[in-house]
Amino acid sequence: MTTLLTYEATKQLSDNWLTWFPGEQEADKQLTNVLASYELGWQANDFQFELREKPMIYAIMNITPDSFYDGGRYTTEEAVSAHIAEMVEAGADLIEVNGQTTRPATLK
C-alpha cells in the first residue's frame, strides 16, 4: 500500500507516533529519518531558518543614491534605521542591505 502525506501531516504523525502506536519504535525511527531527509534549512551568519516550519520573509533594502527602486530615499543613517524598523515591524526575518551600485559607469 502506498500513502501520500503532506509534510505537515507527516510531521504530526511523527510527533504522535509512539502515543498512537506504543511499542513501534522502529517505525518511529524510520519516520523521523524520512522527515529529516526533507528538511529545508537556510542559514545566515548565526541565524538558522527551517523553511518547512515557517516561511522566511527576506527583505531587500538598497541604500545607493542611484537605486533603481527607491531613487535614493535612504541616504542618511536615520532614514536607513527608520526603514529597517518598518521592515522588522512588517515581519522581515532577514534584511539584505545593498550599498554598492551595480552601474559600471558610476564606479569612477
| Residue type, position 45, single letter | N
Question: Is the residue at 4 inside a domain?
Answer: no
Contact 56, 44 (CB under 8 A): no
pLDDT(106) > 60: no
pLDDT > 90 fraction of the chain, expressed in percent and rounded: 28
Q: Which domain holds residue 48?
A: 26-54
72, 88: one domain: yes
pLDDT for 103 equals 63
C-alpha cell belonging to residue 71: 531613487
pLDDT for 102 equals 65
47, 70: one domain: no
Contact 95, 59 (CB under 8 A): yes
50, 65: one domain: no
pLDDT single digits (tens) 42-79: 887 888 888 877 777 888 888 777 666 666 677 788 98
Q: Are strands 41-44 and 47-50 parallel, antiparallel or unpaired?
A: antiparallel
Number of domains in the chain: 2
Mean pLDDT of 16-24: 94
Q: Which of 108, 105, 95, 98 is nearest to 72 (CA)?
A: 98
The model carries a pTM of: 0.52
Q: Which of 1, 5, 4, 7 is nearest to 35 (CA)?
A: 7
Question: Is the residue at 83 inside a domain?
Answer: yes
pLDDT(32) > 70: yes
Question: What CA–CA distance (Å, rounded) separates 28 from 15?
Answer: 9
Question: What CA–CA distance (Å, rounded) separates 94 from 101?
Answer: 21
